[in-house]
Amino acid sequence: MMIEINLLPDELKKSKTPSGGLGKPDVKTLLYIVPVVIGILLVTHIFLAATSVFKNLSLASLNKKLSRLDPEKKKLEGFFKEYSVASAGASAATELLGGRVEWAQELNSISRALPAGVWLNELSFQDGILTLRGSVIAVNKEKEEVSIINKFISNLKKDKDFIAVFQGLELSSVNRRAIHSFEVSDFILTGREKTK
């Protein structure tokens, strides 16, 4: 065995437990630290539980408000459905009115192209086919009806507004009949709508 002799004064001697280091905690320190840690954990758990309860109450309150708004939501959805139907109807009406303006222009073109002695009995437009049924009376000459009909066709073909919409205007048939002492020729003209 070896004996160690330390002749330094007590203030300069190295202590067996290092200062500032963690040595073995004594029981007295543990008695203070453990309740503080347990207290902090308890307060944290209570805070988290209270927060959770508060959030659940808020969620339940919002769900009640939302369920109270369901009838209004259904009314609003119904309104939007009616609005979309009405909007579709309005756009169809607008389109129809736009078409009406175009027809007014076409009818004006037909009216301008009519020579004297020609009148129209029927105008129809179906499946892209325009049909004009009319009659012509010639007072002077017997064969004059056909030339008047040809003049009407020629006038329509020269009209830029009419030709912009219709093509292939042709004479389909001519039937002669007598009314009192006059010869009347009934005719049918057909034309196709130009594809856009």
- CA dist 15 to 21, 64, 93, Å? 12, 71, 104
Q: How far apart are CA 177 and CA 67, in angstroms?
A: 79
CATH number for the domain running over 115-193:
3.30.70
Q: What is the pLDDT along the chain (196 residues), one digit of tens a residue?
A: 678 777 778 887 776 655 555 667 678 888 888 899 999 999 999 999 999 999 999 999 999 988 888 888 888 888 888 877 777 777 766 665 655 547 788 888 899 999 888 889 999 888 888 899 999 987 666 668 888 889 999 999 999 988 888 888 899 998 888 877 778 889 999 999 887 6
Q: Has this prediction a pTM greater than 0.75?
A: no
* Lateral strand order in the sheet of 166-179: 118-126, 129-137, 182-193, 166-179
